[in-house]
Structure 1
Amino acid sequence: MLFNIQPYDRVFIELGPISIYWYGVIIATGAALGLWLATRESKRLGLKEDIFVDLLIFAIPAAIICARIYYVTFEWDRYVGEPWWKVFAVWEGGIAIHGALIGAVLTAFLFAKVKEISFFTLADIAAPSLLVGQAIGRWGNFMNQEAHGGPVSEEAYNHFIQYIPDFITNQMIIDGVMYQPTFLYESVWNILGLLVLLYMRKVNPRRGEIFFSYLIWYSFGRFFIEGLRTDSLYVMGTDIRVAQLISVLLIVISILAMVYRRKKGLANVHYNGQLPSEK
């Protein structure tokens, strides 16, 4: 099926020679809403209200750097023979959410050590905020017409895609071909995960288990959605998609970590209990 649709402009606003892109605006919006959610919960649990503001000062740069390192590592052949500065050219695209997650988690771990706060306290509070940021951030991919799947078959269109709002499917038409809106699938999956984690807060699970549940939920959905995408990173010299491999590892590690922490008595304190002094 061929279509002739004009895509949305990627530029949000132009201020003289400076262009502000929708991608950046959407990512910033997701981060702001995530920060609001975490700050609100921190206050309820008795932590300093600005603890996550302090954390983000370090976590955001670390996440961006690690997201770029992760991407360049698995796309190294693309940069061989290119000018050296291309490795740092984030504005040309090329960051990965798993790299950003690694950077943010490592930063939070060190931050918690310095502040003498339980890392899992911060991680549990932040987990729903991460899903908020990821759910909203995927719409930046929508504006950039990226992170999509393969071409939509006529059968898939008739049975499923035609029920998706036109403003979404139209933006997924590139050079006359409609592609699977995998950004949408992941965004919806993350919103459902957010509802699950917010419910978990109410049932007061053991400390750390909201964070591990986030890793399991996101990884489970990402594994299947990644299989539909056309822009995957691959383990060098193989047909193994990196995001799928990382997703499986995160699920296994998270389950083992929860079992281990319970058996060793490391998860006796519950989410709402003995904060913030418990380490």
Structure 2
Amino acid sequence: MLAINPVAISIGSLEVRWYGILIALGIILGFMIVQREMLKRGMHPDLLTDMLIWAIPISIISARIYYVIFTWDYYRDHPDQIIQIWNGGIAIHGALIGAVITAVIFCKKRGVSFWKVADITAPGLLIGQIIGRWGNFMNQEAHGGPVSEAFKESTVIPDWIMNQMTIDGITYHPTFLYESLWNVVGLILILVIRRTLKMKRGEVFLFYVIWYSIGRFFIEGMRTDSLYVIGSLRAAQLVSVTGIVIGIAILLYRRYVMKVKENYDDKQK
């Protein structure tokens, strides 16, 4: 079976790739879900749109900056390629950092609670990541090391996925799939706990940060295309550990030191 063509549509010299289509689909679907929740929580209908006008381009830029920083040995000698984002080279951690910083500043300017907005947008972020990882599938990237024959014989992963993960005759672990499924479980848990548990404001978002970081830490250890800080220290694993520690620390501080009283579903600013 032939590999899936990463190019969805070709119009002359213009190529529209599945990667871009899936990223756009993730953003649109995430937007629809989050917008509905924001209206339900009594927030201004234009708030999310106004925030995304800033957050999306800034996230793309920060995702590129993150990638360039951790591959500086190459870009130091090829500075003209730093802005050539169309040739690949963005990192989701960089995008998330840029999005959070943008949201903090935006919410402060608008006089709304960042934690309330963050709680509402957390499921949308996961939806975008769940769908976006399939763009890596189309590009045959973000995979792990070669799988064993025993793995091939016992796996329940569909053949059409494993075929796409077979490159030059070698079949690799579909780590994009592992992360996508991990995020699906995280999304389900968020939807359940925010309706069944008495969550304080900010805790849904912090749960997202901790959950994603735990999964990313272990999945990153399987990948063959990691960015490195020093030696064998993977950048994504360092950021993931940082996210776990900071997430837990903020959660405990806000609940037991600050004693935050606002619940997730309150109508206040």
Q: Are the aligned partners of 1:30 and 1:137 in contact in 2 as well (CA < 8 Å)? A: yes
Match of 1:72 in 2: 68
The size of the alignment, in residue pairs, is 268
Q: Which residue of 2 aligns with 1:97?
A: 92
| Alignment of 1:174 onto 2:167 | yes
For residues 258 and 190 of structure 2, what CA distance do their matches in structure 1 show?
A: 23
In structure 2, the partner of 1:230 is: 224
Q: 1:184 aligns to what?
A: 177
CA distance in 2, matches of 1:191, 1:256: 25
Report SS of the residue matched to 1:88.
coil
Deviations 1:137-160 (A, max 9, x none): 000000000000001111222232
Partner of 1:20: 16
For residues 88-167 of structure 1, the aligned pairs below 5 Å read 88-160=83-155, 163-167=156-160
Give CA deviations for 1:172-225 in whole Å, capped at 9, x if unaligned: 011111110000000000011001111122134100000000001101111110
The Cα shift of 1:266 comes to 5.2
Q: Deviations over 1:11-61 (max 9, x none)?
A: 111223311110000000000010001000001000012311111100001
User: Residue 141 of structure 2 aligns to a residue in which SS?
Assistant: coil
TM-align CA RMSD = 1.1
Partner of 2:44: 48
How far apart are the structure 1 equivalents of 2:146 and 2:162? 12
Match for residue 241 of structure 2?
A: 248
Structure 2 counterpart of 1:132, which letter?
Answer: I
Does the aligned pair in 1 maintain the 2:63–2:95 contact within 8 Å? yes
In structure 2, give the amino acid aligned to 1:181: P
Secondary structure class of the residue paired with 1:12: strand
Q: Does 1:62 align with 2:94?
A: no
8 A Cα contact 2:41 2:267, kept in partner: no
Q: Which of the numbers 206, 210, 213 marks the counterpart of 1:212?
A: 206
Stretch moving more, 42-51 or 107-116 = 42-51
Give the structure-2-normalised TM-score: 0.97
Aligned AA (2:217): F
Asked if the contact 1:40/1:49 (under 8 Å) is kept, the reply is no
- The whole-number CA distance in structure 1 between the counterparts of 2:20 and 2:184 is 20
Structure 2: gaps (5+ residues): none
Query: With structure 1 as the length reference, what TM-score do the two structures score?
Result: 0.93
Which stretches of structure 1, 4 residues or more, deviate above 4 A after TM superposition? none
The more displaced of 255-264 and 99-108 is: 255-264
Residues in 1 aligned to 2:212 and 2:157: alpha-carbon distance in whole angstroms: 22
Deviation at 1:273, TM superposition (A): 1.3
Deviation at 1:105, TM superposition (A): 0.2
